[in-house]
Amino acid sequence: MSLLALLRTPPPPHTFALGEDQLLYGRLSRRRDALAHVEKATFASEWFHLGPVGLLQVDRQALAAALAAVLGRVEKAPSHASLVIPNSWVRSVVVDVTNLPRQRQEAEDVVRWRLKKVLPCRPEEVRLDFRALGDSGRVLALLALDKPLAGVEETFAAGGVQLGRIEPAVLAMTTMLPTGSVPALLATVEERALALALVAGGSTVVVRHKPLPADARRAEIFVVRELARTLAHAREQEKLGERVAVWVACASAEDGAAVERWAEQEAGVEVHRLAMGPGRVPRLPDVAEMRLWSLLAVAWDGAA
């Protein structure tokens, strides 16, 4: 029995996931290890727009209509839920910060001040989370514009749902990675975005989000190139050692095959296809399996 598990309040068993063309809802089973119920609604047209800091604008009317459609098919609508957002909605950046204050608010002020030089907007306009990368003096910051995210929260609240945890899909799915001494690099490939998250020593030390070229062949080359660059950089900066496990979650089987071919030429790299055990998520037409994984992962939180 884990004392931390007893003391920590688990996330709600209800979760939503937003995508380019769908809103998904999932409810966990009693054991919190599978999706017991899933609903979806489809967006009729492009409903959000991206900018240099990720999400720029949302069509709140379209989101409200999709949410109402989903909640109308749920026996008891949730009052609290988590939300998985597209990886393309956020940006990550590493900044150099010497003597980061221990008090969280003071540390955040320092990080925002450092971000002035790298952001195309005022630092106070972004919502951010950050983590010091060991004793290197570097800080990993994950950020998105606050105003459009607040609009999403307000739209859900107007529908009767208070959102708690909001995470990009790639970070939600890091709970699916096996624990161990070997660093794990998770690569998720969707229609418009590549997202990478490196977990080492129990902490996320690298997060990268990259838009993908529209052409499939160019996108495949881009994915492999960014994997190689990220791995080389992480080995140098994070002192990973030789062995690294690369876990791939792709909407396209071809992308996964390209990563496997790349790994054959990389010393110490083992490639695995990310997957869940049978019965964890349902098979639904027109819904990518990896999107269902993120629904489960953000609320499951690694529970047995």
What mean pLDDT do residues 276-300 have?
A: 85
For residue 119, the enclosing domain spans: 91-143
Report yes or no on 193 lying in a domain.
Answer: yes
The answer on 197 and 136 residing in a single domain is no
Report yes or no on 211 lying in a domain.
Answer: yes
Q: Could you tell me the CATH number of the domain that includes residue 211?
A: 3.30.420.40
pLDDT tens-digit series, residues 134-173: 777 888 899 999 999 999 999 999 999 999 999 999 999 9
Residue 76 and residue 160 in contact, taking contact as beta carbons nearer than 8 Å: no
Residue 185 and residue 230 in contact, taking contact as beta carbons nearer than 8 Å: yes
**% of residues, the chain, pLDDT over 70:** 94
User: pLDDT tier at 303 (50, 70, 90 boundaries)?
Assistant: very low
Q: Residue 210 pLDDT > 70, yes or no?
A: yes
Residue 187 and residue 248 in contact, taking contact as beta carbons nearer than 8 Å: yes
User: pLDDT tier at 56 (50, 70, 90 boundaries)?
Assistant: very high
Name which residue leads in pLDDT, 182 or 62. Answer: 62
What mean pLDDT do residues 222-249 have?
A: 85
The answer on 182 and 139 residing in a single domain is no
DSSP 135-201: TSSEEEEEEEEHHHHHHHHHHHHHTT-EEEEEEEHHHHGGGGSPPSSS-EEEEEE-SSEEEEEEEET
- Chain-centroid distance of CA 49 in Å reads 18
User: Could you tell me the pTM of the whole model?
Assistant: 0.89
**Quick one: CA dihedral 80, 84, 86, 88, positive or negative?**
positive
The answer on 197 and 137 residing in a single domain is no
Q: Measure the CA–CA gap between 83 and 254, rounded to whole angstroms.
A: 29
Residue 67 and residue 159 in contact, taking contact as beta carbons nearer than 8 Å: yes
The answer on 190 and 127 residing in a single domain is no
Q: Number of structural domains, the chain?
A: 2
The answer on 191 and 242 residing in a single domain is yes
The pLDDT of residue 6 is: 40
Report yes or no on 28 lying in a domain.
Answer: no
What mean pLDDT do residues 87-108 have?
A: 89
The pLDDT of residue 143 is: 92
Report yes or no on 279 lying in a domain.
Answer: no
The pLDDT of residue 215 is: 86
Q: Residue 2 pLDDT > 50, yes or no?
A: no
Report yes or no on 213 lying in a domain.
Answer: yes
What mean pLDDT do residues 194-217 have?
A: 86
The pLDDT of residue 301 is: 54
Report yes or no on 44 lying in a domain.
Answer: no
Report yes or no on 209 lying in a domain.
Answer: yes
pLDDT tens-digit series, residues 116-129: 888 889 989 999 99
Report yes or no on 188 lying in a domain.
Answer: yes
What mean pLDDT do residues 218-230 have?
A: 89
Measure Cα distances from 298 to 240, 261, 268, 280 in Å: 27, 30, 30, 14
Q: Measure the CA–CA gap between 66 and 72, rounded to whole angstroms.
A: 10
